[in-house]
């Protein structure tokens, strides 16, 4: 369901449709560069590579996990930095060097006995489009490419690496009625 400009009366219908889609989500997968990072690649004189990750995105991922969602990363890059970040956040599905992100999404949902309609994906570039179009709920950061912004269900207010993942995590949790106290334990 590509994002469309709606008249005032259609906003309520669109919002209800998005909430229904988010309630079904049981697996949340993310691209890395341009989603969890600002899409920059930083190199030192000695050749070290750096990426900046947003800690609020990390907390959003942890909150989704505490609510019982499976989390995953799908990226074309292959770096130790991504593996370290995934390990720190205990992300169970980590797929680096991904050339066919849709095939990886299909494999993830099958492994967990889910359907693509129970999956959400956030990506920012053309190599994410097939996966974005296949899942039950799709999103892109505010600075995702124009073709991606046209294809997704939701365009974040936040940019990649600046809280876009947390924005989506909070929306999914709100749609599911999940609330967490400051220690991260589920409350009613």
Q: Give pTM, 2 decimals.
A: 0.88
Distance CA 2, CA 146 (A): 12
First-to-last CA distance in the chain? Answer: 32
pLDDT given for residue 179 in this prediction: 67
**pLDDT tens, residue by residue, 85-109:** 999 999 999 999 999 999 999 999 9
For 27, 51, 55, 103, the CA distances from 129, given in Å and listed in that order, are: 18, 23, 26, 12
Pick 181 or 59 by higher pLDDT.
59
Instruction: Tell me the mean pLDDT in the region 143-160.
Output: 97
Distance CA 155, CA 142 (A): 6
pLDDT given for residue 106 in this prediction: 98
**pLDDT tens, residue by residue, 7-60:** 445 566 788 899 999 999 999 999 999 999 999 888 889 988 888 999 999 999
């Amino acid at each position: 369901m590509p994002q469309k400009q709606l008249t005032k009366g259609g906003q309520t219908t669109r919002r209800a449709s998005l909430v229904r889609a988010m309630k079904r989500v049981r697996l949340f997968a993310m691209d890395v560069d341009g989603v969890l990072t600002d899409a920059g690649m930083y190199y030192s004189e000695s050749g070290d590579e750096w990426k900046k990750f947003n800690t609020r995105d990390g907390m959003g991922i942890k909150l989704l996990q505490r609510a019982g969602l499976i989390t995953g990363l799908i990226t074309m890059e292959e770096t130790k930095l991504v593996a370290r970040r995934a390990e720190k956040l205990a992300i169970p599905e980590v797929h680096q060097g991904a050339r066919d992100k849709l095939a990886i999404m299909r494999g993830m949902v099958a492994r967990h006995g889910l359907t693509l309609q129970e999956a959400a994906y956030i990506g920012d570039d053309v190599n994410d489009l097939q996966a974005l179009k296949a899942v039950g709920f799709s999103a892109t950061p505010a600075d995702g490419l124009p073709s991606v912004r046209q294809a997704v269900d939701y365009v974040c207010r936040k940019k990649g690496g600046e809280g876009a993942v947390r924005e989506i995590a909070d929306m999914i949790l709100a749609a599911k009625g999940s609330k967490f106290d400051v220690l991260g334990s589920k409350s009613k």
